[in-house]
């Protein structure tokens, strides 16, 4: 039968305050706790044993009535009574019989229509009847089926028939477990023999007896047991009485448990406020205690109280009322040692008391509420009428429990408030450490009820105690006070890190301490704080007044939390100071690396509290460590310190570890057999690995010859790791700068060929990456070709000209994926079956592709036949990329120069051919002009002679232009090799060539001396001559003044030719270097328009620049650069 139906049958309506009640009473006014029997799943099969008709109908009619109210189909089988008698009984009890019969909700049958509808009782036929009735009820949308059956007809059956009935009753129990079906079987006790009623007990899980008592039937026998061979048939009265007694006892227990459960549910409601919880407790207490009024008060001072909350109607007991304690029940309660329980004010002698006249409570039940060891208020219940029954032990326990739960809530609120306030203090960004500390002192004094908060520096080994902070003035106890630690209460917690307290110094044997004798401190609560890198502290509270009892666990927890924050702040300040000092040292631009390292060693030695420290370098794996810098050792820098590789301790272990290595005491460990301990006595040690890029460099460490009294903390490990990282960074930066400078020097050397520079790059890369060989290969992904172009290092297969499929080499990785590829595990990288791995034996690779015209053209790589135990760093990959960029630039430049050379060759060939082909007709024109002049000169008139002169002059100028153009085209190809050239000697030769012009113009050429440069002497002489000719030619009417100066600028000289001539407009200064572009007409100044263009081409051949600075009428300065001679 269904649990749904039985729940509705026995559930009690809940009050406003309760959540849910056990199914302990039904609404048809019977009592008793109803839970499923342990051998039966549901509370749905009842047996009613009655003595008379009134008792029968008092149970059966409410049973049917409740079914009708729940919308169930109700069936009554009449036998001991007639159908009309049954209907009359229902009407007399208020059941609307006619409406129920008309709707089909109720039907009354006789035993002949049900149990004996086939003539005799047929168990199977009756089961079918109920199945059909239940099916009809379900089809008619009733919520379930409920049946009440009078069983008197069974007395007429023989023994065999009655056995069938018992079997039938037993089969009803498991038959309808999933259906809404309940049945009440009715047995007249006077008519049924005891042995038959005994079987009734065996077959019904629940019993209704004495009209109103529902008993859980502990004598119920499951079917498998009931149909066994043994069936006792006596002691019916004893069993019925036992069931009733046990039911009453259980009802009392479960009532108490129910209220306790509701009490806890109210307190445990997660989102309810304190006021809501108090209101719920007061309502529940009124109901549980049977009193009219409940109220909760808070004692504001010695004479005043306030009613915080109240339930129940009373003129003088209302929430928010503040009144004098005098002449109140609360005054009596607060003055008593425990709870007060009065059920009759007259019997207790209270009727003459002013409190009775004022409040009129004839019954009173109350307890005192304490918080933090002090009285908070009262929790009270009362009535204006007397209470008949005495207060039971269960009720007294219930009141005590309510009081304890209220105290718990108040304590929890108090804890939360203090934690909230302490959090607000410690997280306030506008308060400094001292201000936060003062606020915490004040909060702690309030929390603990003590007068003074303080913090002191302590040293247990030296028995030293120095007051650092105090929260308020205290005679004889102020910052700076020094005492022996042993003369203070703080000695009780020194070194243990726990919370200690003293509430009775005399009993604890502290009456001879200075703080008790001289400072009169009678109470102490404190904790010990170990501070890394600083002296330890104690954080404590004291008072001249004795403390009432021991400090609570909550108070000790709060003190520990305050101490933890103080410790965190002190250590944070220490960490910040250490980091700031470290930064100050490492960021100082005026200190070199060695000076910074020495200061860091001093700082670390002080911070870690160790005697010595150093930086060790391991030049070769498995070799000896070399001390590069040390303090406090008694050995000199560069002395070799070594440890036995067989033990691998100290620096040997550190250089192999990823994290710092620490040892507080080598004794009793394998470290004591290490040579470092045996020779130098090093007993405690903290070290970290130092690297140079990805290569282990050595160790940075600190140590002492004495054991350390505490383990190295995570902060200390972090600090030495940070220092080691800075040293690693500096070493790598120094190496990186060295390699970058070397790379720049190689790339910028103008005197070396690409092949020579490439060889230097190979050597630099092998050193930088710690690999054996470097190479440059031509690749073509389309044809899968790989051809070694250049190689550095010895390898049988990797030689210039060696070829392989690109897909069989590691270089394919630079084409397939990233620009820079590194391989330290060929098999994992997918090259385990490649030629590069199987035939060439390459274990390690670092390479990049080089693109020309946006297509992969070459790979630049470094390889080794040895395995590498670490990955390549990003810095190494970046450095390879920089090297490859230079190679790409050089290849592109070579490609451009080659194309330019080819273009220049074609241009020179064209210019040569053009000038050669032009000279032949020009010579013919000149010859015929000379022939005309010689033969027919006398025949020309004045105009003819003038025309002939024009023609000859034009032919001469054309010849000069052709010669100049030819010379311009041959600058790159017809020049001499560069060699040291003395410009002073060249200048003297030019002076001689221009002697006539100099004398004719009275020109002056001055210089303080010119340098030796690297270049083509013939071409440089041409440059000087062209510039000096222009300086003399483009002058005004005054004699030209020309000055030649030289200035050194790095690896080149700047030569300047300055004149005081007519000058050049700034807008025209770029035009002067253009071929055939003239700024003046030939009538003004003679010339071909090629001279300055020729100078520019010569200077560019020498890798320099030429430019002019001039203003009209202010003269001009032509400057050009030439490479200096390498000494």
The share of the chain scoring above pLDDT 90, in percent, equals 31
| Fold of the domain built from segment(s) 975-1123 | Heat Shock Protein 90 (3.30.565)
User: What does the pLDDT look like over 651-684, one tens digit per residue?
Assistant: 888 988 989 999 999 999 988 888 888 888 899 9
Q: Which helix (H) or strand (E) holds 173?
A: helix 159-175
Provide the pairing of β-strand 45-50 with 181-188: parallel
The mean pLDDT value for 359-386 works out to 88
The span from the CA of 505 to the CA of 494, in Å, is 17
Residue 6 CB coordination number (10 Å) = 24
* Pairwise CA distance, residues 777 & 850, whole Å: 10
Q: Residue 158 — very low, low, confident or very high, per pLDDT cuts 50/70/90?
A: low
The Cα–Cα gap between 881 and 883 comes to 5
SS3 236: helix
The CA distances from residue 961 to 974, 1031, 1090, 1092, in Å, are 19, 21, 8, 13
Specify which residues 469 forms β-bridges with: 455
Question: 1122 exposed, middle or buried (CB, 10 Å; 0-12, 13-18, 19+)?
Answer: buried
Q: E strands of 30-130, at which residues?
A: 45-50, 73-78, 106-110
Q: What is the pLDDT of residue 919?
A: 66
CA distance 604 to 727: 13
Q: Which residue stretches of 369-504 are H helix?
A: 393-426, 433-448
Instruction: Retrieve residue 668's tokens.
Output: 């009793």
**Strand 1004-1007 to 1041-1049 pairing:** parallel
Predicted pLDDT of residue 126: 83
Residue 263 clears pLDDT 80, i.e. is over it: no
| Residue-level pLDDT at 911 | 66
pTM: 0.45
Starting at the edge strand that comes first in sequence, how are the strands of the sheet with 855-864 ordered? 803-805, 785-792, 773-780, 855-864, 844-852, 820-823
Q: Three-class SS of residue 848?
A: strand
DSSP string, 676-719: HHHHH---EEEEEEEEETTEEEEEEEEEESS--SSPPPHHHHHH
For residues 905 and 990, the model is more confident at 990
Domain 269-417, classified CATH 3.30.450.40, yes or no: yes
The answer to whether residue 702 scores a pLDDT higher than 90 is yes
pLDDT for residue 1102? 87
73-78 and 145-150 as β-strands: parallel, antiparallel, unpaired? parallel
- Tens digit of each residue's pLDDT (9 = 90 or more) over 557-608: 888 989 888 888 888 888 888 888 888 998 898 999 999 999 999 999 988 8
Residue 524: partners with Cβ closer than 8 Å, 6 or more residues away: 489, 490, 492, 500, 501, 502, 515, 540, 541, 542
More confident residue, 1074 or 60: 60
Residues with Cβ within 8 Å of residue 708, at least 6 apart in sequence: 609, 610, 664, 665, 684
Q: Which helix (H) or strand (E) holds 729?
A: helix 714-748
Q: Sign of dihedral through CA atoms 48, 50, 53, 59?
A: negative
Distance CA 1037, CA 315 (A): 130
Q: How far apart are CA 858 and CA 871, in angstroms?
A: 24
**CATH number corresponding to 3-257:** 3.40.50
30-50 residue pLDDT tens: 444 445 444 445 457 788 888
Question: CATH number of the domain at 431-577, please?
Answer: 3.30.450.40
Superfamily of domain 591-738: GAF domain (3.30.450.40)
Helix (H, G, I), strand (E, B) or coil at 609: coil
- Mean pLDDT calculated for residue range 489-502: 84
pLDDT band at 624 (very low <50, low <70, confident <90, very high): confident
Which uninterrupted H or E stretch holds 606? Answer: helix 593-608
Residues 168-187 have pLDDT tens digits of 776 666 665 556 788 899 99
d(CA 826, CA 841): 10
Q: Which position has the higher pLDDT, 683 or 200?
A: 683
Between 41 and 901, residue with greater pLDDT: 901
246-260, 351-365, 682-696, 948-962: least confident range: 246-260
Query: Is residue 8's pLDDT more than 50?
Result: no
Task: Return the SS3 of 25.
Answer: coil
Tell me, what's the pLDDT at 80? 87
Lowest pLDDT segment from 41-50, 62-71, 747-756, 834-843? 41-50
By the 8 A CB rule, do 189 and 210 touch?
no
CATH level 2 (architecture), domain 749-872: 2-Layer Sandwich (3.30)
Residues 743, 746, 749: CA angle, nearest 5 degrees: 145
CA dist., res. 137 & res. 127, Å (int):
15
Tell me the per-residue pLDDT of 389-445, one tens digit each, with 9 for 90 and over. 899 888 888 888 888 888 888 888 887 888 888 888 888 889 888 998 999 999 999
Residue ranges covered by each domain of the chain: 3-257, 269-417, 431-577, 591-738, 749-872, 975-1123
Average pLDDT over residues 80-85: 92
Q: Where are the beta strands (DSSP E) in 157-285?
A: 181-188, 206-209, 213-216
β-strand pairing of 106-110 with 73-78: parallel
Residue 253 is inside which H or E element, if any? helix 236-268
Q: For residue 55, which phi and psi values (nearest 5 degrees)?
A: -65, -35
Is the pLDDT at 1075 greater than 80? The verdict is no
Same fold, 431-577 and 591-738: yes
- Whole-number mean pLDDT of the chain? 82
């Amino acid at each position: 039968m269904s649990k749904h139906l039985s729940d509705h049958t026995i559930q009690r309506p809940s009050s406003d305050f309760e959540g849910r009640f056990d199914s302990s009473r039904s609404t048809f006014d019977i009592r008793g706790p109803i839970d499923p029997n342990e051998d039966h799943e549901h509370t749905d099969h009842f047996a009613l044993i009655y003595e008379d008709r009134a008792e029968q109908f008092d149970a059966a009619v409410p049973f049917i009535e409740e079914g009708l109210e729940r919308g169930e189909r109700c069936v009554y089988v009449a036998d001991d009574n007639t159908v009309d008698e049954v209907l009359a009984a229902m009407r007399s009890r208020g059941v609307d019989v006619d409406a129920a019969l008309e709707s089909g909700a109720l039907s009354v049958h006789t035993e002949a229509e049900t149990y004996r509808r086939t003539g005799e009782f047929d168990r199977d036929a009756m089961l079918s009847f109920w199945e059909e009735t239940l099916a009809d009820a379900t089809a008619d949308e009733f919520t379930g089926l409920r049946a009440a059956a009078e069983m008197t007809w069974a007395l007429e059956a023989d023994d065999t028939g009655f056995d069938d009935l018992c079997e039938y009753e037993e089969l009803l129990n498991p038959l309808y477990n999933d259906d809404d079906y309940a049945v009440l079987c009715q047995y007249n006790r006077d008519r049924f023999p005891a042995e038959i009623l005994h079987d009734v007990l065996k077959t019904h899980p629940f019993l209704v007896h004495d009209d109103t008592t529902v008993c859980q039937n502990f004598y119920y026998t499951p079917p498998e047991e009931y149909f066994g061979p043994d069936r006792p048939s006596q002691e019916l009265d004893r069993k019925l009485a036992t069931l009733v007694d046990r039911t009453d006892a259980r009802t009392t227990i479960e009532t108490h448990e129910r209220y306790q459960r509701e009490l806890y549910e109210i307190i445990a409601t997660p989102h309810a406020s304190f006021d809501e919880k108090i209101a719920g407790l007061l309502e529940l207490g009124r109901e549980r205690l049977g009193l009219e009024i409940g109220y909760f008060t808070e004692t504001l001072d010695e004479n005043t109280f306030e009613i915080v909350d109240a339930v129940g109607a009373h003129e003088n007991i209302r929430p928010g009322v503040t009144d004098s304690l005098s002449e109140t029940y609360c005054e009596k309660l607060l003055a008593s040692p425990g709870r007060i329980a009065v059920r009759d004010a007259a019997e207790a002698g209270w009727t003459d008391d002013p409190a009775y006249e004022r409040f009129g409570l004839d019954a009173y039940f109350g307890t005192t509420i304490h918080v933090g060891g002090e009285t908070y208020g009262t929790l009270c219940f009362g009535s204006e009428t007397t209470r008949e029954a005495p207060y039971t032990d269960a009720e007294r326990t219930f009141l005590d429990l309510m009081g304890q739960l209220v105290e718990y809530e108040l304590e929890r609120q108090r804890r939360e408030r203090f934690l909230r306030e302490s959090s607000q203090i410690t997280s306030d960004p506008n308060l400094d450490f001292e201000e936060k500390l003062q606020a915490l002192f004040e909060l702690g004094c309030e929390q603990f009820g003590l007068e003074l908060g303080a913090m002191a520096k302590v040293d247990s080994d030296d028995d030293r105690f120095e007051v650092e902070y105090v929260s308020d003035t205290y005679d004889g106890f102020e910052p700076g006070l020094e005492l022996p630690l042993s003369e203070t209460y703080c000695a009780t917690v020194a070194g243990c890190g726990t919370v200690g307290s003293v509430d009775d110094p005399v009993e604890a044997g502290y009456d001879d301490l200075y703080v008790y004798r001289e400072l009169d401190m009678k109470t102490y609560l404190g904790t010990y704080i170990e501070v890394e890198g600083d002296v330890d502290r104690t954080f404590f509270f004291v008072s001249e007044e004795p403390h009432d009892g021991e400090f609570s666990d909550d108070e000790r927890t709060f003190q520990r939390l305050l101490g933890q924050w103080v410790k965190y702040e002190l250590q944070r300040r220490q960490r910040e100071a250490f980091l700031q000092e470290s930064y100050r040292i490492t960021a100082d631009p005026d200190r070199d690396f060695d000076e910074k390292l020495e200061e860091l060693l001093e700082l670390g030695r002080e911070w870690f509290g160790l005697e010595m420290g150093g930086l060790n370098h391991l030049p070769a794996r498995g070799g000896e460590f070399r001390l590069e810098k040390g303090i406090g050792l008694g050995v000199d820098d560069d002395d070799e310190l070594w440890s036995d590789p067989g033990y691998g301790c100290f620096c040997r272990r550190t250089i192999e570890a990823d994290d710092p290595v620490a040892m507080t005491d080598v004794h009793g460990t394998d470290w004591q057999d290490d040579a470092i301990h045996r020779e130098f006595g090093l007993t405690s040690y903290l070290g970290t690995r130092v690297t140079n890029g990805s290569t282990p460099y050595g160790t940075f460490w600190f140590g002492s010859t004495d054991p350390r009294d505490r383990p190295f903390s995570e902060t200390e490990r972090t600090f030495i790791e940070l220092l080691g990282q800075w040293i690693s960074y500096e070493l790598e930066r120094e190496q990186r700068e060295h390699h970058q400078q070397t790379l720049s020097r190689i790339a910028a050397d103008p005197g070396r060929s690409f092949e020579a520079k490439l060889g230097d790059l190979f050597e630099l890369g092998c050193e930088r990456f710690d690999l054996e060989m470097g190479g440059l290969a031509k690749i073509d992904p389309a044809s899968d070709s790989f051809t070694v172009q250049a190689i550095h290092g010895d390898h049988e297969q990797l030689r210039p000209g060696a070829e392989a499929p690109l897909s069989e080499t590691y270089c394919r990785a630079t084409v397939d994926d990233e620009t820079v590829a590194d391989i330290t595990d060929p098999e994992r990288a997918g090259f385990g079956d490649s030629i590069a791995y199987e035939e060439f034996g390459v274990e390690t690779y670092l390479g990049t592709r080089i693109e020309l015209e946006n297509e992969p053209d070459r790979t630049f790589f470094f390889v080794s036949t040895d395995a590498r135990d670490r990955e390549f760093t990003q810095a190494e990959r970046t450095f390879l990329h920089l090297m490859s960029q230079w190679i790409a630039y050089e290849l592109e430049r070579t490609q451009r120069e080659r194309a330019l050379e080819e273009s220049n060759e074609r241009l020179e060939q064209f210019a040569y051919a053009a000038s050669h082909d032009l000279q032949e007709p020009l010579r013919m024109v000149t010859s015929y002009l000379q022939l005309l002049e010689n033969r027919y000169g006398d025949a020309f008139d004045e105009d003819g002679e003038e025309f002939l002169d024009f023609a000859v002059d034009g032919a001469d100028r054309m010849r000069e232009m052709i010669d100049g153009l030819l010379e311009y085209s041959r600058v790159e190809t017809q020049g001499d090799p560069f060699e040291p050239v003395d410009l002073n000697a060249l200048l003297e030769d030019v002076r001689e060539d221009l002697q006539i012009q100099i004398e004719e113009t009275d020109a002056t050429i001055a210089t303080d001396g010119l340098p030796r440069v690297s270049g083509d002497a013939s071409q440089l002489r041409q440059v000087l001559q062209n510039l000096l000719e222009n300086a003399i030619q483009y002058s005004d009417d005054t004699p030209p003044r020309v000055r030649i100066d030289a200035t050194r600028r790095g690896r080149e000289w700047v030569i300047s030719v300055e004149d005081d001539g007519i000058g050049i407009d700034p807008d025209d200064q770029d035009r002067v270097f253009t071929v055939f572009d003239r700024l003046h007409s030939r009538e003004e100044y003679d010339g071909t328009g090629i001279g300055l263009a020729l100078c520019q081409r010569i200077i560019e051949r020498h890798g320099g620049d030429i430019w002019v600075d001039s203003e009209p009428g202010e003269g001009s300065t032509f400057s050009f650069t030439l490479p200096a001679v390498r000494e």
